Structure 1
Amino acid sequence: MEQSYLTKVIKERRAIKKGYTDKEVKEETVRELLEPAIWAPTHGIRQPWRFIFVGQDRLPDFAKKVASTYPEGRRENRENYLNEPNAILVVLMEESEIPKQWEENYGATAAMIQNFWLLAWEKDLGVVWKTNPHIYDQKVKEIIQAGENEKIVGFIHLGYFDEVPAKKDRISVQDKFTVY
């Protein structure tokens, strides 16, 4: 059976965690990728996401501020880590006090991130969704001026790359599938 283009992109997509080139990730590019990405399924068309783009020019200051929320002995490491990508897209979601809506919002935001990732891959832009401890830190929420009812879903590290990481196989659907 011939594989569709979409199947090919889904299977070839990788997490680009390091090895970024010096090519700048432009705000305009990220906006262009987000326009179709936000067509992810979203219950009640709530579209619970919000984005904060940290470009190459602002990244050193941003990294220093976020790293300052870590214990003294880890700050330099965290600052270097946050300066590795060429840009960071912070993705936030609107939290609901209703558990069902909270889960629907998280699912919609995760689907939107996957859409963004696939669209970025198609343009040779590397992406990795990071959920390091700082996304749960109230001080980081203050640094980025997140609302009281907003959750940081992740820091999306962005950068162009030369080497594609090796494929990591998945467990077969046959091993995860039953019929009721």
Structure 2
Amino acid sequence: MSIKDLIENRRSIRRYEHKQVETSVLHELLQLSAGLCPHPQRLAGTRFLLANEQDTKSRLSRGMTDAFSVTKLGKWLPDKLLEATYNRFMEIPGHLIVITEQEDAYIAEACYMMQSLQLLAWERGIGMLWDTDELLYSPKLLDALSLTQNERMLGIIHYGYFNKTPRPRKRTPAAKRWTVYSAAE
């Protein structure tokens, strides 16, 4: 598959098979994606927390659900719905929390790596969803992840094997977002 096809065909996956992605496969994909970065030395400040075992998934899922439960919307939701949210997170085979130093160059390099990771994983039949929902940035969850003062969580990548590829969303043609900037006359 060409890189163009890979980029055009990759989708965010929200429904996964009940099949574990081996940690060694994820580690290999992380190594490969880091090797594709233009400035890999900027990844020195990046770390990953892996939650793919029942106990770590449970702690993370509970942390995400608890963070949601104290929001304006979450306070109004019945406990059954909050528990369903917890169970939904538990069904996902794995979660990869991406943390990096606050400096812009480190953030950019880690984001480049995460985009490459998603493309490399897609090539192997592993779907991912890079979750950056603002609920994930609650102080309660960030404290539970033990971030240092100069670190920032870039999001959580939910991942797993999948059976069904979602339909593509309609893309906005680049020409509609194109503006030519010219010097004032």
Query: Which TM class, normalised by the smaller chain length?
Result: 0.7 to 0.9
Which stretch shifts more, 163-172 or 119-128? 163-172
What are the ranges of 5 or more consecutive residues in structure 1 without an aligned counterpart?
96-101
> How far apart, CA to CA, are the structure 2 residues paired with 1:53 and 1:10?
25
User: Percent of aligned positions with the same letter in both sequences?
Assistant: 26
**2:100 is aligned with 1:93:** yes
Larger Rg: 2
Q: 9, 20, 25: which one pairs with 1:24?
A: 20
TM-score normalised to structure 1 length: 0.83
Provide the residue aligned with 2:83 in structure 1: 76
Which 4+ runs in 1 deviate beyond 3 A? 72-75
Per the TM alignment, residue 77 of structure 1 is displaced from its structure 2 partner at its CA by 4.1
**What is the CA distance between 1:80 and its match in structure 2?**
2.5
Q: What residue number does 1:157 align with?
A: 158
TM-score (normalised: structure 2): 0.81
Q: Match of 2:91, SS?
A: coil
Q: Give the conservation status (yes or no) of the 8 Å contact 1:134–1:140.
A: no
The question of whether the paired residues in 2 share the 8 Å contact of 1:25 and 1:56 is answered with no
The Cα shift of 1:24 comes to 0.5
Of Structure 1 and Structure 2, the greater helix share is in 2
Distance, in Å, in 2 between the alignment partners of 1:6 and 1:166 is 19
* Number of positions where the alignment pairs a residue of Structure 1 with one of Structure 2: 169
Deviations 1:89-142 (A, max 9, x none): 0001111xxxxxx33222222111100000000010010000123431222122
3-state DSSP of counterpart to 2:148:
coil
**AA in 2 matched with 1:22:** H
Q: CA deviation at 1:10?
A: 0.7
Give the superposition deviation at 1:175: 2.3
Q: Is the contact between residue 15 and residue 128 of structure 1 (CA under 8 Å) also seen in structure 2?
A: yes
* Counterpart Cα distance in 2 of 1:152 and 1:6: 28
Equivalent residue for 2:51?
54
Q: Secondary structure at the match of 1:83?
A: helix
2:128 alignment partner in structure 1: 127
Determine the structure 2 residue equivalent to 1:34.
30
